[in-house]
């Protein structure tokens, strides 16, 4: 039921953090993984790490700016030389640019965050959907955040974009469930990644409040997301579509 053998999974931002943790889970359950990222060195480092850990599995990496439709068009021209179909798309690419209050964030920074976290999902999903429809199945998993639920004075663009992830997920699920394509979102809680490291050092007073509020009593690790991502990519979730699942150690219940 959870077997991903013969499935091709494309993960944007799969060269680190949550994306890399999901890639590990998919490889463990038999999928081939395509990692898409802007940083060539991180792409190659992640490929070396994954192929060493899963020597019998297939891992490919591609350089792409997922906010740029022309770059994405070129990406898929390359991908479809090696793969006929994408079975699983994980829209994970994301950034956060913080400011003390919303008005202090420049329009340029706002636009970059929203285009990376939200608009890229539309660009990527639009590229895979016709192939999934022709194949009669597909899985799209969008990565949101705790800030899909809560506001943030210091992360206004991030919160706005991640809130949009939930609504975009619902809209796509409404459109594509009839085609046997399930679209769902994962909302990570406070996970130890490169992205959150700067938060922990910049806002130590806020960081100190997170662990006591989290019922699990700890920050999450990227691999904590992999089980939910495997479920949503597998046959086990065939009748699940349009939902957003917090994976947060219970943070959102308080």
Q: Give the number of other CB atoms < 10 A from CB of residue 23.
A: 31
Alpha-carbon separation of residue 49 from 23, 147, 189, 190, 250 (angstroms): 11, 30, 25, 24, 31
3-state secondary structure of 14: coil
User: Could you give the CA distance from residue 217 to residue 251 in angstroms, rounded to a whole number?
Assistant: 10
User: Which one from 158, 168, 203, 251 is the annotated catalytic residue?
Assistant: 158
Burial class (CB in 10 A: 0-12, 13-18, 19+), 211: middle
Parallel, antiparallel, or unpaired: how do β-strands 88-91 and 138-143 relate?
parallel
Instruction: Give yes or no: 158 in active site.
Output: yes
User: Could you give the CA distance from residue 75 to residue 65 in angstroms, rounded to a whole number?
Assistant: 9
Parallel, antiparallel, or unpaired: how do β-strands 181-188 and 8-12 relate?
unpaired
Residues 6+ apart with CB under 8 A from 19: 11, 12, 13, 35, 90, 92, 93, 143, 222
- Dihedral, CA of residue 62, residue 68, residue 74 and residue 76, to nearest 10: 70
What residue ranges in the chain does DSSP mark as E strands?
8-12, 32-37, 59-63, 88-91, 138-143, 181-188, 244-247
Active site residues: 158
């Amino acid at each position: 039921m959870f077997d991903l053998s013969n499935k091709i999974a494309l993960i944007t931002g799969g060269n680190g953090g949550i994306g890399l943790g999901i890639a590990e889970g998919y490889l463990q359950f038999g999928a081939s993984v395509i990692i898409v990222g802007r940083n060539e060195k991180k792409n190659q480092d992640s490929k070396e790490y994954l192929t060493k850990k899963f020597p019998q599995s297939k891992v490919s990496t591609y350089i792409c700016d997922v906010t740029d439709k022309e770059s994405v068009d070129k990406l898929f021209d390359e991908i479809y030389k090696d793969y006929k179909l994408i079975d699983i798309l994980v829209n994970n690419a994301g950034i956060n640019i913080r400011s003390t209050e919303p008005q202090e964030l420049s329009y340029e920074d706002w636009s970059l965050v929203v285009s990376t976290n939200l608009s890229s999902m539309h660009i990527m999903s639009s590229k895979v959907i016709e192939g999934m429809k022709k194949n009669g199945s597909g899985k799209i998993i969008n990565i949101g955040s705790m800030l899909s639920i809560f506001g943030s004075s210091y992360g206004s663009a991030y919160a706005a974009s991640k809130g949009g992830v939930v609504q975009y997920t619902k809209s796509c699920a409404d459109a594509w469930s009839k085609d046997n394509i399930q679209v769902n979102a994962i909302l990570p809680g406070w996970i130890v990644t490169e992205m959150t490291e700067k938060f922990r050092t910049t806002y130590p007073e806020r960081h100190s409040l997170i662990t006591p509020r989290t019922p699990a009593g700890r920050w999450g690790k990227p691999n904590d997301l992999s089980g939910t991502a495997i479920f949503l990519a597998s046959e086990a979730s065939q009748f699940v579509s349009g939902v957003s699942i917090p994976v947060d150690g219970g943070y959102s219940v308080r």
